[in-house]
Amino acid sequence: MASPPLLTKPSLFRRRSAARADGAGEGGPARRPRLYALDGMRLLAALSVVCFHWAAYVDVSGVWEGVTPREALPRLNQVAAYGWLGVELFFVISGFVICMSCWGKRPGEFFVSRVVRLYPGYWVAVLLTGSVLLAFGEYARTFAARGLHVDTVVANLTMLQEPLGMRHVDGVYWTLWVETRFYLLFALVVATGLTYRRVVAFCGIWTILAVLAPQGGIPLLSTFAMPDEAPFFIAGVGMFLMHRFGRDPLLWGIVGLSWILALSRLRHLREVYVEVLGHGLSWYAMAAGVTAAFALVLGAALGLFDRVRWKGLTVAGALTYPLYLIHQEVGWTVIHVLRLHRVGVAAALGTALVLMLLTAWTVHRVVERPVSALLKNALDRSMATLRRASDEPAALRS
């Protein structure tokens, strides 16, 4: 039997062009297997942020018993000082994954997927961290522990504490408000139906708004345009389009411009992080970290990591979110208690990390999985009721 003819470049181009034209997912290329490498990258990003907060963040008011992390961990501190770049890697991954997971979904399904994914683990993290700070504030020795009240914990359960004017129970929650704004923006595209053209247009419009926002003097525009974070999300979206529809000069342009804009915002970000570190940062090292974040996700988008099929990485990915949510305030408290009992620096770090990983695994298995399933079933029923109600004639609804 003769071998089937190879797919020629012109026919490949025609297939991709047809898939893009109005771009419903049905006409697009077949989906590739699960990208296990992204799960590994998520854990890498989380551990990077953990390292930053535990071994570099200077203003922790006595966690290290009178010395700064730079003095307690001089070698680790040199690398940990750039650990905040893990957040930027998170944002690139988020742009990629949100676009991927929402393709072909209705707005209600998008809403349910985000609530189910974010809230169960977050509620546990807020209650756990709030309880630790309220009960063991004298051991926490951090800003968040001072004057913390139950109403702050309650407000944090909404994940809207920042727009409500309330402080975060844990400082890392600021990124959740960033993610929420990205979801709100992307929901506009989901509501119109995700197509190649619409998502490309979304990337272009958001890029323009992010560039203009700092000069506009309009707080609400800056709030949603997110000049510092937008390039990472937009790049992730562009990379997913590459993954789904193939390489294209326009998509390379979106990713490349986002990379340039991300580098252009580094001076501003450096000022922010120098303040919390108490020492300088190299722009070149920061630029290398940002470039690495782009390159890792781009590599996954282009299939460079397709051979990575270790299923254990799915566990790593599942641990990432609860680990990120609980590691800072609770982790600092654990470290401080261990140091009070004369545990060595390295042993305190190792013990705290093991405890945080075990807690993250417990939160995932005991809370996230069962509660997410129950919450999804309940919300799916609610969405079905809404759809039925919208299909009824107006006379019947009244």
Instruction: Answer yes or no: are the C-beta atoms of 287 and 263 closer than 8 Å.
Output: yes
Asked whether residue 147 carries a pLDDT value surpassing 50, the answer given is yes
Q: Report how far apart the first and last C-alpha atoms of the chain are (Å, whole number).
A: 67
Q: Model-level pTM? A: 0.88
pLDDT score for 33: 66
pLDDT range class, residue 341, cuts 50, 70, 90: confident
What is the pLDDT at residue 143?
55
pLDDT per position as a tens digit, 86-141: 999 999 999 999 999 999 889 999 999 999 999 999 999 999 999 998 887 666 65
Contact 153, 350 (CB under 8 A): no
Count CA atoms within 13 Å of residue 223 on its CB side: 9
Q: How confident is the model over 193-215, as a mean pLDDT?
A: 95
Task: Supply angle C-alpha 90, 115, 358, rounded to 5.
Answer: 60
Per-residue pLDDT of 153-203, as tens digits, reads 999 999 999 999 999 999 999 999 999 999 999 999 999 999 999 999 999
- Is the pLDDT assigned to residue 24 strictly greater than 50? no
pLDDT of residue 111: 94
More confident residue, 237 or 391: 237
In the predicted structure, residue 31 carries a pLDDT above the cut 60: no
pLDDT(255) > 50 = yes
Arithmetic mean of pLDDT, 306-331: 91
Q: SS in 3 state form for 192-235?
A: HCCCHHHHHHHHHHHHHHHHHHHHHCCHHHHHHHCCCCHHHHHH
Percentage of residues of the chain with pLDDT beyond 70: 86
Tell me the average pLDDT across 287-313.
Answer: 93
**21: pLDDT strictly greater than 60:** no
The pLDDT of residue 4: 38
* Mean local confidence (pLDDT), 303-313: 89
Average pLDDT of the residues of the chain: 87
Q: What is the pLDDT of residue 2?
A: 41
CA distances from 87 to 44, 233, 303, 314 (A): 10, 11, 23, 20
Cβ atoms of 36 and 306 within 8 Å: the answer is no
pLDDT tens digit string along 376-390? 999 999 999 888 877
Cα–Cα distance for residue pair 166/155, rounded to 1 Å: 7
In this prediction, residues 56-79 reach a mean pLDDT of 78
With a CB cutoff of 8 Å and minimum separation 6, the contacts of 382 are none
Residue with tokens 């139906």: 193
Burial class (CB in 10 A: 0-12, 13-18, 19+), 109: middle
Better pLDDT: 65 or 224: 224
Whether the CB-CB separation of 266 and 286 falls below 8 Å is answered with yes
* Average pLDDT, integer, range 9-25: 45
Write down the pLDDT at residue 136: 78
User: Residue 13: which pLDDT band, with cuts at 50, 70 and 90?
Assistant: very low
pLDDT at position 309 over 50? yes
Residue 37: per-residue pLDDT: 93
The reported pLDDT for the residue numbered 139 is 63
Least confident of 72-76, 134-138, 285-289: 134-138
